[in-house]
Amino acid sequence: MAGITPKDDKGEKLGDGTHRYSEGHIFELHADQLGQGLNLNGQTLSGNATLSGNITFSNAVVLSGGIAAGNLALTGNLLVQQTATLECLITIKGGESKNAGLLLAADKWDDAGDAWMIKSYHDTNTLIFQSDVAVKGSFVTKMTLTTGGNFTLVGDIFVKRQDVADALIVATAGLGKDAILHLQADIGNDAADKWSIVSNASGNALTFENNAVSKLTLATNGDLTLVGFGIIPTGKGLTLTGTATGSLGTPANGTIMHDSTTNKLVARLNGAWETITSAA
């Protein structure tokens, strides 16, 4: 069918290349009209329009104005499709010193937790994901991504695969930099709350630190260094330093330790402790 050129309530043609739709001119298009095709010929619509039926935009579409000035409201799905040789982009641009956001509201948005907000903040340039999980319409930040690539999440991370492959979490540091996993209990407000597991760029050892102080180090050759123990099994690649506060079970022959009573080194030989003396 041939396309139609609709007229407004004052009888002026819209889309014939000579008229502009403006405030005070209201028109409605229904499915029977749209079935014949809608021809606006690049004209500007700067008011309210009620469109019922399927609408296809083949060129750029610009919507401007605040809510009171008449934004476009669609009931149904919106398909944005480019040709096979071009990228398909949706751009949301905020005004000067204003944020840009996308609101996703499920289940008619009749309850708290139905909606998510994705925002690009104008001042920090961070991308945030917010939920109104507690109070409908009151959004709280759940995830933040900075322009430097830093990622902050409020909550837990679950890594679960549905196939038979391994589930991996990989932390790769920059050239010459350590890879670190921080574990902070009790909101991390005390020094003792903070543990770190560090893969060291220098020497490639794995260390466990409490408040940035090393407590255990595992070298690539299997040697283990513990801080805070006094038993030193020799020939096992294990070095223990500090005051003894426990035991490692029945000491094996060849075990060396410091005897705090005699202040001497003793060795485990044939099931008994022998004092180590220097040769004459």
Split at pLDDT 50, 70, 90, the class of 183 is very high
Does residue 169 surpass a pLDDT of 80? yes
pLDDT tens, residue by residue, 203-256: 999 999 999 998 888 888 877 777 755 334 444 445 555 554 445 556 677 778
pLDDT tens, residue by residue, 51-78: 555 566 555 555 555 444 446 666 677 7
pLDDT of residue 106: 93
Phi, psi of 100 (to 5 degrees): -120, 135
% of the chain at pLDDT higher than 90: 32
Strand order in the sheet with 115-120: 100-105, 115-120, 127-135, 138-145, 151-153
Cα separations (Å) of 165 from 48, 160, 170? 54, 10, 15
pLDDT of residue 25: 45
Does residue 102 surpass a pLDDT of 60? yes
Determine the average pLDDT of the residues in 121-129.
94
pLDDT of residue 221: 83
pLDDT of residue 118: 96
pLDDT of residue 235: 46
Does residue 114 surpass a pLDDT of 80? yes
